[in-house]
Chain A
Amino acid sequence: MNQEVIILIAEDDEGHAELIRKNLHRAGIANKILPFRDGQEVVDFLFRRAPGPQRTSGEAYVLLLDIRMPKLDGTEVLAQIKADPELRKIPVVMITTTDDPREVERCHALGCSSYLTKPVEYDAFVNAIRQLGLFLAVVQVPKINGNT
């Protein structure tokens, strides 16, 4: 993966975000990471709707998205991104503690690129993030243009 690709992590639990970041780093992913604490923040960033940080046109992004978050949950964020003709190009990886098959199916139906369950057992968690790292290393990420 190109070093210029920015990894967006939407995760309300700071501990989780830190563990993900740490293990991505260990997996050799050195890209810039932007954290968001809920769904609303990441939507505001991508759609440039509210004051605060906003994406810049011509950048490439990968979004790691938790499902259960305050204000706007992950599936809604996914639905909004996939409904936008430009933003829908962003690879979205769902990272969540829920392994409810209905939830998994719904996210795939909405168009997520991958779905990752956060295992409680840390070795498995580390392994999962390492695999995510491998995925991120090989995935081709398009640049996102437009102003939405």
Chain B
Amino acid sequence: MNHNETKPAAVRDNADPIRYRTVNAALMRIVTVICLVCALGISLVFVFYSRSMILENADDRMLSAVEFASEWLGNDFHDRILGQDSLSREQYARILDRHDSLCRRLGLQYIWSVLVLEDRIVFTSATRADVNNPASAHASFFETHHDPHAFDPAMGPPDIPVYSSFHNEWGEGRMVLLPRLDARRRRYITGASIQIGTLSSMVMNGVWLALLSGAALFVPVWLIVRRLTRRTTGVFSLITAAVGQMREGNLDVPLPASDLAEARQICETLDRLRRELQQRIGELRHSESKYRSLVENTSDIIYSLTAEGIYSFVSPAWTRLLGHPTAEIPGRSFSEFVHPDDLPRCDAFWQKVRDKGERQEGVEYRVRHHNGPWRWHTSSAGPVRDADGAVTGFDGIARDITEGVQRGEALRISEEWYRAIYDTSPLAMVVWDRDCVVRNWNRQAERIFGWTREEAIGRNFVEFLLPESARATVSEVVDSLLQRRIPSQSTNENLTRSGDRILCQWNNSIQQDSQGRITGVVSLALDITERKRMEEAVQAERDQLLQVFHSIDEAIYIADPRTHELLYVNRFAADLLPGDCIGLKCYQALQGLDAPCSFCTNEMILRQKPEPHRWEFYNANLGRHYSITDRIIRWSDGRDVRFELAIDITAIRQSQKNLAAKNKELEQLVYVASHDLRSPLVNVDGFSRELEFSLAEIGGLLEGGSDRAQLEKVLKAEFPDMTRSLERIRASTRQMDNLLKGLLKLSRSGRAALRIEPLDMNELLRQLAASFAFRIEKAGVALTVGELPPCRGDAVQVTQIFSNLIDNAIKYLDRGRPGRIGILGAAEGDRALYRVEDNGIGIAGNHCENIFELFHRLHPGETDGEGLGLTIARQILGRMEGEIAVESKPGQGSTFIVSLPGVKGKKL
């Protein structure tokens, strides 16, 4: 449509006359073919002609030779060869020479003569050269014609030459036989043959000749024809070509000049037509460019569809609206882009356009954008017709209306949504006007208040919804609403149709008209009667529970496990803690720490909730042992909080400890009973039996009437044994008595009532030292007592302990050096420590623990004692939360360390 404006140069190239030669090519081809056919015909005629000429010539030559030879030999020649006066050898050779010479001159192959006898045919002469050479053509000839029938054709009437053709390996040949009768009526035949081997080459020569002659004929004919066409048909060919170019749009093609009047006329007409056409095209192009700019710049898509619904054109707006490059669209189907649900509607539209035959509007459908989303389009389209008026397609304009559709859809959804809320809301919705008259009343309002919509609308709500008590408050709410104080909330009692009072929570907002005047109020009400009741019940329950906690004499607290904030402590716990600790961090209030405790169980109980975590803990801040149960419970505001019940088991711990000590003591007692008390019994029984044995022996001697000398001898022998036995028995009974006394003493000391009080140890030791003054002086010991811290204990028992320690120190002094005993003291933390040091014999390391055992004595033979002192000391200390230990080096001395609870803060 638009290429003619871009190709004038090419058109000028096409105007070159050389190009028109092709126009005459067909004519020239015809001339060429005619010339070739003529040449072929001439050559064929020539070939046939020359062949017959050759054959005729050959036959003439042969006949001449044969007639000559026959005449020359004469009709009695064979008799001369065969008869008495036969030819001499020289004469016969001359005959043969003449044959040869004749053959050479006439270009023959062979000449021969034969005599036909009754039973056979005899050669009488022949061309010679070949007789001696069996491999020659000559020999072959005779072989070939050896059979008698070879001469059969010559058996006809005499003197008439018979011609025949033959073929052999050298090609075609010709033979003539001339039969004659001799005087004796015997038939003799003279023959000659010729080998026409050159015949085919002659034919080829003929062909070449014909071609040459054809060419010679063609060139002048061609030149003549060319000259003629250039003068006449050439002009018209150029005009035809120019018209073809014009048809293709090249209106600037040059028209040939000619001296032919007809051609000139045609060219002038063409030139006029072409100028008119150029003018028209200029106008068309102008209008098309306007149309094009319109199509390209409009925001709507302008498109053309074929009757089958294939796009043939879309305007650039397609790219703007739908994203695809415009060039991609032609050739693709309308249905390819349109939403499947909308296709039936579109098909109906196209059918309508087709049926009505005119432009239709208003079909709406979704088209897929290049990026995926659907866009709403509305389109109008009209039919395109061909020359016969049949609809061949559609031209249309499509506009994007997505936003409008979406707005409409959103509006519809919003309305539905509000309608659904209105109908299904758990809130009662009441719309009322400035006069408190109900204008709207939803289903939930019907349910809550019992009045139907019909009953409620039109009535003043103050009359039927408000009890007397609530009217004043509601009236204030109404006033403030009408003064636009929003949002407005109120909780008040309302009446139901049945007269029940319910508690409702109201949320109010105002309705305004377009001028901003208040037309009414929308009130939403929630029936919170039940909720309120439950909240109160829960609150009461909770208060009661916390009250119960207050009455429990164990520590209970509740803290937020995330913020560590104390939410609740019961009265018992509050009494343990300083001041009001609610709101403090639990680790501050309970442990006196600045950061969460290292042993905090919050993570654990949160992880395993609601399973409790039970553990025991010594609170150094309070100095108490606790058995603790932690678990997560739900607090009134719904959060998970830590509930801790801490049961003070300090006393239980102490009694457990005491019990363990008692058990050990008891075990030792049993052990002692089973060993130490049995030991003397073994001796008592053993030695009494030994005594019995001795007495039995003596008794036997007495009864047996032994003589005095023998009796005396036995008595002397047995007497020391018996004495020793009695001593051992008595020693054992003493030992047993001591053991029993010791046990009694231990028992008493274990049962003695304790009066725990702060003790001034300096005073106590001073008095004790005074009581030891005599023994110390006697033993020559230096006793020094340092400054001692006070402690808590029973004065009598503590005195007993130190008395035992000093007694031991004196008892186990090293005799080899002057004794020194020192008593030193120091407060360490909440304990008071006392050291009783001596420079005595010391105790080996492996004996240090044994010395506290009941009745254990390291040196039973060397010193007095019951093996009770240290046992009693440890027992007493166990009852007073005290401890005793020993450090010793054998040969250097021992140090007994006594630890007792200290007295806090003050010195006595």
Q: Mark B814-845, 1 if CB is under 8 A from A, else 0.
A: 00000000000000000000000000000010
Tell me if B685 is interfacial: C-beta within 8 Å of chain A.
Answer: yes
Contact assessment for A100 and B671 in the assembled complex, using a CB-CB cutoff below 8 Å: yes
Number of A interface residues at 8 Å Cβ cutoff, please give it: 30
Q: Mark B685-699, 1 if CB is under 8 A from A, else 0.
A: 111111000000000
B93 to chain A, nearest CB (A): 155
Of A19, A68, A70, A76, the residue contacting B846 (CB under 8 A) is: A76
Tell me if A125 is interfacial: C-beta within 8 Å of chain B.
Answer: yes
Of B685, B844, B858, the residue contacting A121 (CB under 8 A) is: B685
Contact assessment for B683 and A70 in the assembled complex, using a CB-CB cutoff below 8 Å: no
Tell me if A120 is interfacial: C-beta within 8 Å of chain B.
Answer: yes
Complex: chain B residue closest to A76, CB-CB: B846
Main secondary structure of the interface of A (DSSP, over half): loop
Q: Mark B836-866, 1 if CB is under 8 A from A, else 0.
A: 0000000010110010000011111100000
CA distance in complex: A73, B853 (Å): 12
Chain B contacts of A73 at CB under 8 A?
850
Of A13, A71, A72, A122, the residue contacting B679 (CB under 8 A) is: A13
CA distance in complex: A98, B679 (Å): 9
Answer whether A97 and B682 are a contact pair too, CB < 8 Å, given A68-B675, A70-B860, A122-B689: yes
Tell me if B333 is interfacial: C-beta within 8 Å of chain A.
Answer: no
Chain B contacts of A123 at CB under 8 A?
689
Contact assessment for B690 and A99 in the assembled complex, using a CB-CB cutoff below 8 Å: no
Tell me if B756 is interfacial: C-beta within 8 Å of chain A.
Answer: no
CA distance in complex: A120, B732 (Å): 13
Contact assessment for A15 and B685 in the assembled complex, using a CB-CB cutoff below 8 Å: no
List residues 6-47 of chain A with CB under 8 A from any CB of chain B.
Answer: 12-16, 18-19, 22, 37, 40
Of A72, A99, A119, the residue contacting B674 (CB under 8 A) is: A99
Contact assessment for B686 and A68 in the assembled complex, using a CB-CB cutoff below 8 Å: no
Chain B contacts of A120 at CB under 8 A?
678, 681-682, 685
Chain A contacts of B339 at CB under 8 A?
none
Chain A contacts of B690 at CB under 8 A?
19, 22
A106 to chain B, nearest CB (A): 13
Contact assessment for A15 and B686 in the assembled complex, using a CB-CB cutoff below 8 Å: yes
Answer whether A122 and B856 are a contact pair too, CB < 8 Å, given A13-B679, A100-B671: no
Tell me if B718 is interfacial: C-beta within 8 Å of chain A.
Answer: no
Chain A contacts of B732 at CB under 8 A?
15
Contact assessment for A37 and B861 in the assembled complex, using a CB-CB cutoff below 8 Å: yes
Main secondary structure of the interface of B (DSSP, over half): helix
Contact assessment for A19 and B858 in the assembled complex, using a CB-CB cutoff below 8 Å: no
Tell me if A65 is interfacial: C-beta within 8 Å of chain B.
Answer: no
Of B679, B687, B728, B850, the residue contacting A97 (CB under 8 A) is: B679
Chain A contacts of B728 at CB under 8 A?
14-15, 18
Of B682, B844, B850, B860, the residue contacting A16 (CB under 8 A) is: B682
Q: Mark A69-107, 1 if CB is under 8 A from B, else 0.
A: 011110010000000000000000000111110000000
Contact assessment for A125 and B676 in the assembled complex, using a CB-CB cutoff below 8 Å: no
Tell me if A5 is interfacial: C-beta within 8 Å of chain B.
Answer: no
Chain A contacts of B844 at CB under 8 A?
40, 71
A132 to chain B, nearest CB (A): 15
Chain A contacts of B861 at CB under 8 A?
37
Of B674, B689, B856, the residue contacting A100 (CB under 8 A) is: B674
CA distance in complex: A126, B692 (Å): 14
Chain B contacts of A96 at CB under 8 A?
675
Q: Mark B712-755, 1 if CB is under 8 A from A, else 0.
A: 00000000000000001001100000000000000000000000
List residues 443-464 of chain B with CB under 8 A from any CB of chain A.
Answer: none
Complex: chain B residue closest to A16, CB-CB: B682
A90 to chain B, nearest CB (A): 21
CA distance in complex: A71, B853 (Å): 11
B811 to chain A, nearest CB (A): 15
Contact assessment for B857 and A70 in the assembled complex, using a CB-CB cutoff below 8 Å: yes
Chain A contacts of B688 at CB under 8 A?
122
CA distance in complex: A18, B846 (Å): 29
Answer whether A97 and B686 are a contact pair too, CB < 8 Å, given A70-B856, A71-B847: no
Complex: chain A residue closest to B843, CB-CB: A71
Answer whether A15 and B731 are a contact pair too, CB < 8 Å, given A72-B847, A97-B682, A120-B681: yes
B683 to chain A, nearest CB (A): 4
Chain B contacts of A125 at CB under 8 A?
682, 685-686
Chain A contacts of B856 at CB under 8 A?
70
Chain B contacts of A72 at CB under 8 A?
846-847
Contact assessment for B678 and A97 in the assembled complex, using a CB-CB cutoff below 8 Å: yes
B339 to chain A, nearest CB (A): 94
CA distance in complex: A87, B711 (Å): 49
Tell me if A118 is interfacial: C-beta within 8 Å of chain B.
Answer: yes
Chain B contacts of A67 at CB under 8 A?
675
Chain A contacts of B731 at CB under 8 A?
15
B733 to chain A, nearest CB (A): 12
Contact assessment for A70 and B859 in the assembled complex, using a CB-CB cutoff below 8 Å: yes
Complex: chain A residue closest to B847, CB-CB: A71
B728 to chain A, nearest CB (A): 5
B723 to chain A, nearest CB (A): 13
Of A14, A71, A76, A118, the residue contacting B682 (CB under 8 A) is: A118
CA distance in complex: A70, B863 (Å): 13
Complex: chain A residue closest to B732, CB-CB: A15
Chain A contacts of B674 at CB under 8 A?
97-100
Contact assessment for A19 and B675 in the assembled complex, using a CB-CB cutoff below 8 Å: no
CA distance in complex: A19, B872 (Å): 34
Answer whether A98 and B683 are a contact pair too, CB < 8 Å, given A15-B728, A72-B846, A72-B847: no
CA distance in complex: A51, B860 (Å): 20
A11 to chain B, nearest CB (A): 10
Contact assessment for A71 and B686 in the assembled complex, using a CB-CB cutoff below 8 Å: no
Complex: chain B residue closest to A80, CB-CB: B846
Of B671, B681, B682, the residue contacting A19 (CB under 8 A) is: B682
Contact assessment for B683 and A19 in the assembled complex, using a CB-CB cutoff below 8 Å: yes
Complex: chain B residue closest to A19, CB-CB: B686
List residues 652-696 of chain B with CB under 8 A from any CB of chain A.
Answer: 671, 674-676, 678-679, 681-683, 685-690
Complex: chain B residue closest to A97, CB-CB: B678
CA distance in complex: A122, B693 (Å): 12
Contact assessment for A16 and B683 in the assembled complex, using a CB-CB cutoff below 8 Å: yes
Contact assessment for A122 and B846 in the assembled complex, using a CB-CB cutoff below 8 Å: no
Q: Mark B116-133, 1 if CB is under 8 A from A, else 0.
A: 000000000000000000
CA distance in complex: A13, B679 (Å): 8
Contact assessment for B671 and A15 in the assembled complex, using a CB-CB cutoff below 8 Å: no
Contact assessment for A70 and B682 in the assembled complex, using a CB-CB cutoff below 8 Å: no
Complex: chain B residue closest to A119, CB-CB: B682
Contact assessment for A98 and B681 in the assembled complex, using a CB-CB cutoff below 8 Å: no
B664 to chain A, nearest CB (A): 14
Chain A contacts of B860 at CB under 8 A?
12, 70
CA distance in complex: A12, B855 (Å): 13
B125 to chain A, nearest CB (A): 155
Answer whether A97 and B846 are a contact pair too, CB < 8 Å, given A19-B686, A120-B685: no
CA distance in complex: A40, B846 (Å): 10
CA distance in complex: A16, B685 (Å): 11
Most central of A16, A122, A125 by chain B CB within 10 Å: A122
B637 to chain A, nearest CB (A): 61
Of A19, A68, A118, the residue contacting B676 (CB under 8 A) is: A68
CA distance in complex: A142, B679 (Å): 32
B338 to chain A, nearest CB (A): 98
A15-B732, A16-B686, A22-B690 are known; give 8 further A-B pairs, CB within 8 A.
A16-B679, A16-B683, A70-B860, A71-B858, A97-B674, A122-B682, A122-B685, A122-B689
10 closest residue pairs by CB, A with B: A15-B683, A122-B689, A97-B678, A19-B686, A15-B728, A122-B685, A120-B681, A68-B675, A98-B675, A97-B675
Residues of chain B at the chain A interface (Cβ within 8 Å): 671, 674-676, 678-679, 681-683, 685-690, 728, 731-732, 844, 846-847, 850, 856-861
26 A-B residue pairings within 8 Å (CB atoms) = A13-B679, A13-B682, A13-B683, A14-B728, A15-B732, A18-B728, A19-B683, A19-B686, A19-B687, A68-B675, A68-B679, A71-B844, A71-B858, A72-B847, A73-B850, A97-B674, A97-B675, A97-B682, A99-B674, A100-B674, A118-B682, A119-B682, A122-B682, A122-B685, A125-B686, A126-B689
